[in-house]
Amino acid sequence: MNDAERLPRLSELSERQIRGAACVWCAADLVAGQDVDLGEQRCLWLSYKASWFPRACPHCAEQHNEVPPRHRLAP
Ligand SMILES: [Zn+2]
């Protein structure tokens, strides 16, 4: 599954979700240090190439099998 399929469509997201202030899936406000960075995403905005940086709350990240890098370390 590629990035375009695993994340919601940009057109369905709020400005807060697009800039990483809110969870990309449930729109909850994110707390610094408890959010999951989903990495830079490439997109086309009108005819421009652009990037956006979605973030998710830990609950949604787990639901979508997005584990923050620091949690991939052995326990
Ligand atoms: Zn969420």
Q: What does the angle CA 40 – CA 21 – CA 15 come to, to the nearest 5 degrees?
A: 85
Query: Ligand 1 center to residue 12 CA distance, Å?
Result: 15
Model confidence over 14-71: pLDDT tens digits?
999 999 999 999 999 998 888 999 999 888 777 888 889 999 999 999 999 886 655 5
- Which is more confident, 75 or 33? 33
Query: Ligand 1 center to residue 10 CA distance, Å?
Result: 16
CA–CA gap between residue 6 and residue 64 (Å, rounded): 8
CA–CA gap between residue 5 and residue 47 (Å, rounded): 20
Query: Ligand 1 center to residue 9 CA distance, Å?
Result: 15
Whole-prediction pTM value? Answer: 0.75
